[in-house]
Structure 1
Amino acid sequence: ALRIQADLHEQGERVSRQRIGRLMRQAALVARGKRKFRTTTKVKSSRPVAENILAREFTADGPNQKWVTDITYLPTREGWLYLATVMDLYSRKIVGWALNERLQTPLVTAALEMAVGRRKPPGGLLHHSDRGSQYTSEVYKQALDRLQAVQSMSEKGECWDNAVQESFFATLKTEMGLSEAQW
Protein backbone atom coordinates (compact mmCIF):
# COMPACT_ATOMS: atom_id res chain seq x y z
CA ALA A 1 0.00 0.00 0.00
CA LEU A 2 2.87 2.38 0.74
CA ARG A 3 4.47 1.88 -2.67
CA ILE A 4 1.14 2.26 -4.48
CA GLN A 5 0.39 5.41 -2.48
CA ALA A 6 3.80 6.86 -3.45
CA ASP A 7 3.23 6.03 -7.14
CA LEU A 8 -0.23 7.61 -7.08
CA HIS A 9 1.12 10.69 -5.30
CA GLU A 10 3.75 11.10 -8.07
CA GLN A 11 0.85 11.08 -10.58
CA GLY A 12 -0.98 13.78 -8.64
CA GLU A 13 -3.58 11.49 -7.01
CA ARG A 14 -4.28 11.82 -3.30
CA VAL A 15 -5.43 8.52 -1.74
CA SER A 16 -4.96 7.35 1.82
CA ARG A 17 -2.89 4.28 2.60
CA GLN A 18 -5.84 2.78 4.50
CA ARG A 19 -8.10 3.02 1.42
CA ILE A 20 -5.45 1.43 -0.77
CA GLY A 21 -5.02 -1.38 1.78
CA ARG A 22 -8.79 -1.95 1.95
CA LEU A 23 -9.09 -2.08 -1.86
CA MET A 24 -6.14 -4.46 -2.07
CA ARG A 25 -7.73 -6.81 0.48
CA GLN A 26 -11.05 -6.74 -1.40
CA ALA A 27 -9.25 -7.63 -4.62
CA ALA A 28 -7.11 -10.25 -2.81
CA LEU A 29 -3.91 -8.46 -3.87
CA VAL A 30 -0.72 -8.86 -1.88
CA ALA A 31 2.63 -7.20 -2.37
CA ARG A 32 5.49 -9.32 -3.63
CA GLY A 33 8.55 -8.83 -1.50
CA LYS A 34 12.02 -8.69 -2.90
CA ARG A 35 13.69 -12.03 -3.35
CA LYS A 36 16.04 -12.80 -0.49
CA PHE A 37 19.68 -12.44 -1.46
CA ARG A 38 21.53 -15.70 -0.93
CA THR A 39 25.24 -15.52 -0.48
CA THR A 40 27.29 -18.55 -1.44
CA THR A 41 30.71 -17.17 -0.66
CA LYS A 42 31.71 -16.20 2.84
CA VAL A 43 35.22 -14.96 3.31
CA LYS A 44 36.97 -15.23 6.65
CA SER A 45 39.52 -12.43 6.51
CA SER A 46 41.64 -14.05 9.23
CA ARG A 47 42.42 -16.99 6.94
CA PRO A 48 45.17 -16.60 4.37
CA VAL A 49 44.21 -16.75 0.70
CA ALA A 50 46.27 -18.15 -2.14
CA GLU A 51 47.64 -16.16 -5.06
CA ASN A 52 45.65 -16.19 -8.33
CA ILE A 53 48.01 -18.44 -10.28
CA LEU A 54 45.36 -19.54 -12.81
CA ALA A 55 45.00 -15.90 -13.95
CA ARG A 56 42.02 -16.71 -16.21
CA GLU A 57 44.09 -19.16 -18.29
CA PHE A 58 41.26 -21.66 -18.76
CA THR A 59 43.13 -24.15 -20.94
CA ALA A 60 45.34 -27.12 -20.14
CA ASP A 61 47.64 -29.27 -22.28
CA GLY A 62 46.44 -32.50 -20.71
CA PRO A 63 44.07 -33.98 -18.12
CA ASN A 64 44.52 -33.43 -14.39
CA GLN A 65 46.75 -30.37 -14.77
CA LYS A 66 44.22 -27.68 -13.82
CA TRP A 67 41.02 -28.09 -11.85
CA VAL A 68 38.53 -25.36 -10.97
CA THR A 69 35.86 -25.66 -8.32
CA ASP A 70 32.84 -23.70 -7.13
CA ILE A 71 29.50 -23.96 -5.33
CA THR A 72 25.99 -23.07 -6.43
CA TYR A 73 22.57 -23.48 -4.91
CA LEU A 74 19.61 -25.29 -6.39
CA PRO A 75 15.97 -24.78 -5.41
CA THR A 76 14.02 -27.93 -4.58
CA ARG A 77 10.51 -28.53 -3.27
CA GLU A 78 11.97 -29.12 0.18
CA GLY A 79 14.36 -26.15 0.25
CA TRP A 80 17.80 -25.30 -1.06
CA LEU A 81 20.51 -27.80 -1.95
CA TYR A 82 24.09 -26.75 -2.45
CA LEU A 83 26.11 -28.29 -5.29
CA ALA A 84 29.90 -28.25 -5.31
CA THR A 85 31.69 -29.31 -8.47
CA VAL A 86 35.28 -29.86 -9.57
CA MET A 87 35.98 -29.36 -13.30
CA ASP A 88 39.04 -30.50 -15.24
CA LEU A 89 39.95 -27.61 -17.56
CA TYR A 90 41.41 -29.94 -20.18
CA SER A 91 38.16 -31.76 -20.96
CA ARG A 92 35.74 -29.31 -19.25
CA LYS A 93 34.21 -32.37 -17.58
CA ILE A 94 32.96 -32.41 -14.02
CA VAL A 95 35.26 -34.90 -12.35
CA GLY A 96 33.86 -34.56 -8.84
CA TRP A 97 30.66 -33.28 -7.27
CA ALA A 98 28.72 -33.30 -4.03
CA LEU A 99 25.29 -32.15 -2.81
CA ASN A 100 24.43 -31.05 0.70
CA GLU A 101 21.81 -29.04 2.56
CA ARG A 102 24.58 -27.10 4.29
CA LEU A 103 27.10 -24.73 2.80
CA GLN A 104 30.12 -25.93 4.75
CA THR A 105 33.57 -27.40 4.22
CA PRO A 106 32.44 -31.09 4.08
CA LEU A 107 30.51 -30.24 0.89
CA VAL A 108 33.59 -29.08 -1.04
CA THR A 109 35.79 -31.73 0.54
CA ALA A 110 33.42 -34.47 -0.67
CA ALA A 111 33.52 -33.08 -4.22
CA LEU A 112 37.32 -32.98 -4.13
CA GLU A 113 37.52 -36.53 -2.74
CA MET A 114 35.29 -37.80 -5.56
CA ALA A 115 37.49 -36.09 -8.16
CA VAL A 116 40.67 -37.52 -6.62
CA GLY A 117 39.17 -41.01 -6.40
CA ARG A 118 38.09 -40.94 -10.03
CA ARG A 119 41.13 -39.23 -11.55
CA LYS A 120 44.09 -39.89 -9.21
CA PRO A 121 45.92 -36.70 -10.27
CA PRO A 122 49.70 -36.36 -10.07
CA GLY A 123 51.38 -33.91 -7.72
CA GLY A 124 51.58 -30.36 -8.98
CA LEU A 125 47.91 -30.11 -9.99
CA LEU A 126 46.75 -26.47 -10.08
CA HIS A 127 43.54 -26.20 -8.05
CA HIS A 128 41.56 -22.94 -8.43
CA SER A 129 38.59 -21.69 -6.38
CA ASP A 130 37.06 -18.51 -5.04
CA ARG A 131 37.99 -17.18 -1.59
CA GLY A 132 35.05 -18.73 0.23
CA SER A 133 35.52 -19.91 3.79
CA GLN A 134 35.05 -23.53 2.67
CA TYR A 135 38.13 -23.28 0.43
CA THR A 136 40.25 -21.32 2.92
CA SER A 137 39.50 -23.77 5.75
CA GLU A 138 42.36 -25.70 7.31
CA VAL A 139 40.65 -29.01 6.48
CA TYR A 140 40.49 -28.16 2.78
CA LYS A 141 44.07 -26.88 2.70
CA GLN A 142 45.23 -30.16 4.29
CA ALA A 143 43.37 -32.14 1.63
CA LEU A 144 45.15 -30.15 -1.09
CA ASP A 145 48.50 -30.62 0.69
CA ARG A 146 47.98 -34.41 0.71
CA LEU A 147 47.43 -34.17 -3.06
CA GLN A 148 50.53 -32.02 -3.44
CA ALA A 149 48.26 -29.59 -5.31
CA VAL A 150 49.05 -25.94 -5.88
CA GLN A 151 46.20 -23.78 -4.60
CA SER A 152 45.04 -20.76 -6.59
CA MET A 153 42.21 -18.38 -5.66
CA SER A 154 40.24 -15.72 -7.48
CA GLU A 155 40.85 -12.08 -6.74
CA LYS A 156 38.36 -10.57 -4.30
CA GLY A 157 35.03 -9.88 -6.00
CA GLU A 158 36.16 -11.14 -9.43
CA CYS A 159 33.61 -13.66 -10.71
CA TRP A 160 35.41 -13.70 -14.09
CA ASP A 161 38.37 -15.43 -12.44
CA ASN A 162 36.26 -18.59 -12.30
CA ALA A 163 34.14 -17.95 -15.42
CA VAL A 164 34.15 -21.56 -16.67
CA GLN A 165 32.49 -22.80 -13.48
CA GLU A 166 29.99 -19.93 -13.51
CA SER A 167 29.16 -20.76 -17.14
CA PHE A 168 28.68 -24.43 -16.28
CA PHE A 169 26.26 -23.54 -13.47
CA ALA A 170 24.30 -21.20 -15.75
CA THR A 171 23.98 -23.96 -18.36
CA LEU A 172 22.99 -26.51 -15.72
CA LYS A 173 20.27 -24.29 -14.30
CA THR A 174 18.96 -23.45 -17.77
CA GLU A 175 18.79 -27.17 -18.61
CA MET A 176 16.89 -27.73 -15.35
CA GLY A 177 14.33 -25.20 -16.55
CA LEU A 178 15.18 -22.58 -13.95
CA SER A 179 14.85 -18.95 -14.91
CA GLU A 180 17.45 -16.41 -13.81
CA ALA A 181 14.91 -15.06 -11.31
CA GLN A 182 15.03 -18.46 -9.55
CA TRP A 183 18.84 -18.44 -9.29
Structure 2
Amino acid sequence: MAIMGLRAIYQKPRTTVSHPEHRKYPYLLRDLVIDRPNQVWCSDITYIPMKRGFLYLVAIMDWFTRKVLSWRLSNTMDAEFCIEALQDALMRYGTPEIFNTDQGSQFTTPRFTGLLEERQIRISMDGRGRWLDNVFIERLWRSLKYECVYLHAFETGSELRVGLTKWVTHYNGQRPHAALAGRTPDEAYHDAPTPSGLRVVTTYYPQSFCIR
Protein backbone atom coordinates (compact mmCIF):
# COMPACT_ATOMS: atom_id res chain seq x y z
CA MET A 1 0.00 0.00 0.00
CA ALA A 2 2.85 2.39 0.81
CA ILE A 3 4.57 1.74 -2.54
CA MET A 4 1.31 2.28 -4.44
CA GLY A 5 0.41 5.37 -2.43
CA LEU A 6 -2.74 3.81 -0.98
CA ARG A 7 -4.15 4.77 2.40
CA ALA A 8 -7.02 3.32 4.42
CA ILE A 9 -9.98 5.68 4.74
CA TYR A 10 -11.07 4.61 8.24
CA GLN A 11 -10.22 6.88 11.15
CA LYS A 12 -7.49 5.56 13.43
CA PRO A 13 -8.53 5.57 17.08
CA ARG A 14 -6.97 8.41 19.08
CA THR A 15 -5.61 7.48 22.49
CA THR A 16 -4.32 10.90 23.60
CA VAL A 17 -7.00 13.55 23.87
CA SER A 18 -6.29 16.34 26.30
CA HIS A 19 -8.87 18.08 28.46
CA PRO A 20 -8.66 21.89 28.38
CA GLU A 21 -9.69 22.28 32.03
CA HIS A 22 -7.35 19.68 33.51
CA ARG A 23 -4.01 20.70 34.98
CA LYS A 24 -0.92 19.74 32.96
CA TYR A 25 2.32 18.91 34.77
CA PRO A 26 5.92 19.55 33.61
CA TYR A 27 8.17 16.82 32.23
CA LEU A 28 10.61 15.78 34.97
CA LEU A 29 12.73 13.11 33.26
CA ARG A 30 14.92 15.21 30.97
CA ASP A 31 18.60 14.37 31.71
CA LEU A 32 17.51 12.44 34.82
CA VAL A 33 19.68 9.42 35.62
CA ILE A 34 17.25 6.55 36.25
CA ASP A 35 19.16 3.80 38.01
CA ARG A 36 16.83 1.85 40.34
CA PRO A 37 13.39 0.21 40.49
CA ASN A 38 10.44 2.33 41.64
CA GLN A 39 12.28 5.54 40.87
CA VAL A 40 10.04 6.20 37.85
CA TRP A 41 6.88 4.51 36.70
CA CYS A 42 5.23 5.34 33.39
CA SER A 43 1.88 4.64 31.78
CA ASP A 44 0.27 4.89 28.38
CA ILE A 45 -2.80 3.77 26.42
CA THR A 46 -2.83 1.98 23.07
CA TYR A 47 -5.54 0.45 20.95
CA ILE A 48 -5.61 -3.27 20.19
CA PRO A 49 -7.11 -4.28 16.83
CA MET A 50 -9.27 -7.40 16.90
CA LYS A 51 -11.08 -9.48 14.31
CA ARG A 52 -14.02 -7.14 14.72
CA GLY A 53 -13.31 -3.70 16.13
CA PHE A 54 -10.73 -2.93 18.78
CA LEU A 55 -10.20 -2.48 22.52
CA TYR A 56 -8.06 -0.07 24.51
CA LEU A 57 -5.14 -1.24 26.65
CA VAL A 58 -3.44 0.68 29.44
CA ALA A 59 -0.23 -0.50 31.10
CA ILE A 60 1.94 0.71 33.95
CA MET A 61 5.67 0.02 33.64
CA ASP A 62 8.68 0.46 35.88
CA TRP A 63 10.99 2.61 33.75
CA PHE A 64 14.35 1.23 34.91
CA THR A 65 13.55 -2.50 34.81
CA ARG A 66 10.94 -2.38 31.99
CA LYS A 67 8.68 -4.57 34.16
CA VAL A 68 4.96 -4.36 33.40
CA LEU A 69 3.42 -3.75 36.81
CA SER A 70 -0.25 -3.69 35.86
CA TRP A 71 -2.57 -3.49 32.84
CA ARG A 72 -6.26 -3.27 32.01
CA LEU A 73 -8.48 -3.55 28.92
CA SER A 74 -11.51 -1.40 28.13
CA ASN A 75 -13.97 -0.84 25.30
CA THR A 76 -14.17 2.89 26.08
CA MET A 77 -11.69 5.67 26.77
CA ASP A 78 -13.21 6.40 30.17
CA ALA A 79 -10.60 6.99 32.89
CA GLU A 80 -11.87 4.15 35.06
CA PHE A 81 -9.69 1.39 33.58
CA CYS A 82 -6.60 3.59 34.00
CA ILE A 83 -7.49 4.26 37.63
CA GLU A 84 -7.99 0.53 38.25
CA ALA A 85 -4.57 -0.26 36.76
CA LEU A 86 -2.94 2.42 38.93
CA GLN A 87 -4.63 1.20 42.11
CA ASP A 88 -3.56 -2.36 41.34
CA ALA A 89 0.08 -1.35 40.77
CA LEU A 90 0.17 0.74 43.95
CA MET A 91 -1.33 -2.09 46.00
CA ARG A 92 1.10 -4.71 44.65
CA TYR A 93 4.33 -2.75 44.33
CA GLY A 94 4.19 0.28 46.61
CA THR A 95 4.84 3.81 45.39
CA PRO A 96 7.30 5.24 42.87
CA GLU A 97 9.08 8.56 43.26
CA ILE A 98 7.87 9.88 39.88
CA PHE A 99 4.95 8.86 37.66
CA ASN A 100 5.15 9.83 33.97
CA THR A 101 2.32 9.87 31.40
CA ASP A 102 1.20 11.83 28.37
CA GLN A 103 -1.35 14.65 28.63
CA GLY A 104 -4.38 12.51 27.83
CA SER A 105 -7.52 13.32 29.79
CA GLN A 106 -7.49 9.90 31.50
CA PHE A 107 -4.19 10.81 33.19
CA THR A 108 -4.91 14.49 33.88
CA THR A 109 -8.30 13.95 35.53
CA PRO A 110 -8.17 14.84 39.24
CA ARG A 111 -9.43 11.32 39.99
CA PHE A 112 -6.14 9.94 38.61
CA THR A 113 -3.68 12.64 39.70
CA GLY A 114 -5.29 12.75 43.14
CA LEU A 115 -4.25 9.15 43.79
CA LEU A 116 -0.65 10.13 43.05
CA GLU A 117 -0.65 13.37 44.99
CA GLU A 118 -2.11 11.84 48.15
CA ARG A 119 0.87 9.46 48.15
CA GLN A 120 3.30 12.32 47.47
CA ILE A 121 4.32 10.89 44.10
CA ARG A 122 5.74 13.53 41.76
CA ILE A 123 3.79 13.80 38.51
CA SER A 124 5.57 14.13 35.17
CA MET A 125 3.92 14.55 31.77
CA ASP A 126 5.27 14.34 28.23
CA GLY A 127 5.34 17.38 26.00
CA ARG A 128 2.53 17.44 23.43
CA GLY A 129 3.30 15.12 20.53
CA ARG A 130 6.60 13.94 22.07
CA TRP A 131 6.33 10.16 22.07
CA LEU A 132 10.06 9.93 22.79
CA ASP A 133 9.38 11.35 26.25
CA ASN A 134 7.85 7.95 27.10
CA VAL A 135 9.98 5.86 24.76
CA PHE A 136 10.21 2.60 26.72
CA ILE A 137 6.48 2.01 26.94
CA GLU A 138 6.16 2.90 23.26
CA ARG A 139 8.66 0.12 22.53
CA LEU A 140 6.62 -2.20 24.75
CA TRP A 141 3.57 -1.55 22.55
CA ARG A 142 5.55 -2.34 19.41
CA SER A 143 6.82 -5.65 20.81
CA LEU A 144 3.41 -6.65 22.18
CA LYS A 145 1.61 -5.98 18.90
CA TYR A 146 4.14 -7.65 16.60
CA GLU A 147 4.75 -10.66 18.86
CA CYS A 148 1.20 -11.25 20.11
CA VAL A 149 -1.66 -9.16 18.72
CA TYR A 150 -0.81 -9.23 15.01
CA LEU A 151 -0.18 -12.98 15.09
CA HIS A 152 -3.68 -13.79 16.39
CA ALA A 153 -7.11 -12.76 15.21
CA PHE A 154 -8.62 -12.33 18.66
CA GLU A 155 -12.40 -12.37 18.43
CA THR A 156 -13.47 -11.63 22.02
CA GLY A 157 -12.19 -9.63 24.93
CA SER A 158 -11.75 -12.78 26.99
CA GLU A 159 -9.55 -14.35 24.29
CA LEU A 160 -7.48 -11.18 24.08
CA ARG A 161 -7.12 -11.05 27.86
CA VAL A 162 -5.78 -14.62 27.95
CA GLY A 163 -3.35 -13.89 25.13
CA LEU A 164 -2.05 -10.71 26.75
CA THR A 165 -1.69 -12.43 30.11
CA LYS A 166 0.54 -15.11 28.56
CA TRP A 167 2.62 -12.56 26.67
CA VAL A 168 3.14 -10.23 29.66
CA THR A 169 4.06 -13.20 31.87
CA HIS A 170 6.68 -14.26 29.31
CA TYR A 171 7.92 -10.68 28.86
CA ASN A 172 8.34 -10.08 32.59
CA GLY A 173 9.70 -13.46 33.61
CA GLN A 174 11.52 -15.04 30.68
CA ARG A 175 12.65 -12.37 28.25
CA PRO A 176 16.19 -11.07 28.90
CA HIS A 177 17.06 -7.45 28.09
CA ALA A 178 20.48 -6.29 26.94
CA ALA A 179 19.98 -3.05 28.86
CA LEU A 180 19.52 -5.12 32.03
CA ALA A 181 22.75 -7.08 31.54
CA GLY A 182 20.82 -10.08 30.27
CA ARG A 183 18.35 -10.18 33.14
CA THR A 184 14.58 -10.36 32.79
CA PRO A 185 12.44 -7.47 34.08
CA ASP A 186 11.36 -9.62 37.04
CA GLU A 187 14.98 -10.40 37.97
CA ALA A 188 16.02 -6.77 37.70
CA TYR A 189 13.03 -5.51 39.66
CA HIS A 190 13.06 -7.95 42.56
CA ASP A 191 16.62 -8.74 43.50
CA ALA A 192 19.43 -8.36 40.96
CA PRO A 193 21.88 -5.49 41.59
CA THR A 194 22.19 -2.56 39.23
CA PRO A 195 24.46 -3.41 36.29
CA SER A 196 27.84 -1.76 36.65
CA GLY A 197 28.01 1.50 34.75
CA LEU A 198 24.43 1.46 33.45
CA ARG A 199 22.88 4.90 33.17
CA VAL A 200 19.64 5.50 31.31
CA VAL A 201 19.48 8.96 29.80
CA THR A 202 16.66 10.11 27.54
CA THR A 203 18.29 11.83 24.57
CA TYR A 204 16.17 13.61 22.00
CA TYR A 205 17.17 12.37 18.56
CA PRO A 206 14.45 11.27 16.12
CA GLN A 207 13.57 7.59 16.61
CA SER A 208 16.49 6.98 18.95
CA PHE A 209 17.58 7.00 22.55
CA CYS A 210 20.86 6.22 24.22
CA ILE A 211 21.88 3.96 27.10
CA ARG A 212 25.12 4.71 28.90
TM-score interval (norm. to shorter): 0.7 to 0.9
RMSD: 2.1
Aligned to 2:111: 139
Task: Please show how residues 28-67 of structure 1 align to structure 2 within 5 Å.
Answer: 33-55=8-30, 57=32, 60-67=34-41
CA contact (8 A) 1:56 1:160 kept: no
How many residues in Structure 1 have an aligned counterpart in Structure 2? 146
Aligned partners of 1:85 and 1:106: how far apart in 2? Answer: 13
Unaligned runs of 5+ in 2: 1-5, 152-212
Aligned partners of 1:34 and 1:62: how far apart in 2? Answer: 45
CA contact (8 A) 2:48 2:149 kept: no
Identity %: 31
Letter in 2 for 1:149: I
Aligned to 2:129: 157
Unaligned runs of 5+ in 1: 1-30
Secondary structure of 1:85's counterpart equals strand
Aligned partners of 1:117 and 1:126: how far apart in 2? Answer: 16
Aligned partners of 1:56 and 1:38: how far apart in 2? Answer: 32
Deviations 1:84-141 (CA, angstroms, capped at 9, x unpaired): 001101211001111111112112111111111110126xx10000000001101001
Over alpha carbons, which structure has the higher Rg? 1
Aligned to 1:4: none
Aligned partners of 1:133 and 1:151: how far apart in 2? Answer: 14
**1:32 to partner: Cα distance:** 8.3
Task: Please show how residues 8-19 of structure 1 align to structure 2 within 5 Å.
Answer: none
Secondary structure of 1:99's counterpart equals strand
Aligned partners of 2:49 and 2:31: how far apart in 1? Answer: 29
Aligned to 2:102: 130
Aligned partners of 1:52 and 1:171: how far apart in 2? Answer: 25
**1:155 to partner: Cα distance:** 0.6
The partner residue of 1:148 within 120, 130, 147 is: 120
